Every structure is written in structure tokens, then in C-alpha cells.
Structure 1
Amino acid sequence: MTTTIQTPAEFLTHVVDPDLAAFASSVQLRLAYHACNSLFALRDWVYETHKGKVWSFQGTQFQAISGKTKFLADLRTIEADFEIVADIANASKHMVLDSGRRLTSLYGSANVHIHTSGGSGLLGFGAIGAGAIGSVPTTSVFVQIGTGFHDVQQCANKVHAVWKQLFSENGW
């Protein structure tokens, strides 16, 4: 059996979905970057295949897809986390983001990190008082944008859910 990736739907099925599943099952920076890159690249696949076509989200019709920047701006009106995912994807490629190219105030890839919290000292995790007695530490990938911290898994999941709905609603 041969698998090819020639359509946005195939890219979603064979690249995006597995990247999101892998990231959900293992907290790693590499997997966070892969998830954000494939979610962001899906915009290009949809643009190339459906440019010039009108589309909708939850019954709201949008103008025809006319450019990648405009399409991303429309996607950001649906879900603000598209800009976080896009900036993380670009930071993973360029290390530091030019202020003119970024959508958020994300400086660069160094602002994406793994954070472990909780867990009680009684189980050998962290300092005493760091978590409830008997609790296990939790690990997440966060991105620091300005003074705020965003859970990358949550952002990626929201963007993925929007893509799934867009594909279903628009027959992509």
C-alpha cells in the first residue's frame, strides 16, 4: 500500500493528526514544535487548493481566500490561538522573530519551554509543600509571550479543533 499526501485533507490526516496525537502522549519540545509547524503549514495547503473560494465557519461566510496573510487574519478572528501557533512555528524555524513578522510579542524559540509543577516532597518530587501530599508532578510545554504564559498543548488543541470543523463544514 502506498500513501501519498496530495490534498489538504491528506495532510491533515497523515501529518497534522499524528503530530497532535504524539504531542498529546508525550510532553517534548520537539513534538510541540512539530504540532505547531504542521498546524500552521495546513494554512498553506488550504490556501493553495482553495484560493479564490469563499468559505465559512459555524455558518459565518468569509470572503474568498485571496492571500496567505489575509487567510491567517481570518483564521485568527475565529480562534486567537492561531497567532500563537503561527509564531511558535516561525520561531522554531528562525530562532528569533523579526518584530515585523510576528503576530504576538513572542521573541523567539527560547520562550518555548517545558515546565514541571506540583508533586509532593513525600514522593520525591520537588520540595516539600510544592504539591498536595501524594500528588504527582505535571509537565507541560508553555510559551512565554510578554509577561503571559500559554499552555502550548491547549493552544494547539483549539487550533486543531477549528481546522477539523473547517474541513467538515467546507468539504475541504
Structure 2
Amino acid sequence: MKHFDANLTRENIFKCISYSGLTDENFANIIGISLRKFQYIKAKKFEFTIKDIEKACTFFKIPFDKITTTSIVLLNNYRESLLDYHIDKLEFKKILQDKPSISFAIEFILIHDSSFLDIKLEIKNIKAILDKYGYSYTSSSLTNELKKSKFINFEPHPLKKGTFIYSKK
């Protein structure tokens, strides 16, 4: 058996969360911890327990020895494969059918949409693109995530004071 690597395990779990589109709150509920504890784990103030990791492995359909010892590779359709896997588990099915996290919508939807390629758009235009997919987010939340995203460039609008325009990196 390979050596358990806590840092690699953390990276793998957060990668699974990202690729599945789960919000922090949904993931905390899935593994049965408080949102506050999850935020401490995210901030590296606490670690996942073995029980937390086992629950994550069950949800993410990844063996314990793989998530704890090997850097995992996930496909862009990971959310859909999880939905297929959990089709008979109502509580998980609902979470995966609900609106995904904003970071998921940016990374897996927005930057691949033909309306966003090679063009600079205002937040209202980006909201319209995501609305096509049934994902409605507040402008302020979307703006915050766009500015943090490693996939997005943003700059002040050349004509409108206090407005930003966004483009794919």
C-alpha cells in the first residue's frame, strides 16, 4: 500500500469539489460536517478526518487508496457522471441537479460558450449567457468570482465609469 499523503488528499478532494460544481455548503452537508469546519479545512487550519475522506470517496466514486496517494485526473463531464452514479440517491441527485457553484459555471460553462470566446463582455452579458443554461447568479457574486478566476481577464470599461469588462484568458 502506498503512503497516505494528507496534502495530496486535500488537493484531490478540492479538485473533485470543483469538477462536480458543489458549493462549500453542499459538500459540508454531504460529508456531515459544519460549514465552519469545512471553511477551516479549506483555510488549512484543520484537516479532513479519515471518516470525512471515506464519505468523500463514497460520494465522488473514487477509491480511498487512490484519492489519498495519487493525483487524480477528472474529465470535464465529471458532474454528469456523478449524477448518473447517484441517480437513485435522491439527496445527492438533487444537489447535482441544482445550480452549480459560480466557479464551476465559469470554468466549465462560460469559457466554453461561443458567445464568450474572443470578446470582452459586461457582467449583464455574462449573466445572460449563464441564464441560457438555467444558472442565475447575482451580479455581485458573479463579479467577485470572475475577478478571482484564473480563467478570466477583467479591466475597467473604456466608456463606463465603475464598470468592468471580462474576457477569457
Question: Do both proteins adopt the same fold according to a TM-score greater than 0.5, normalized to the shorter chain?
Answer: no
TM-score (normalised: structure 2): 0.27
**Which structure: greater strand fraction?**
1
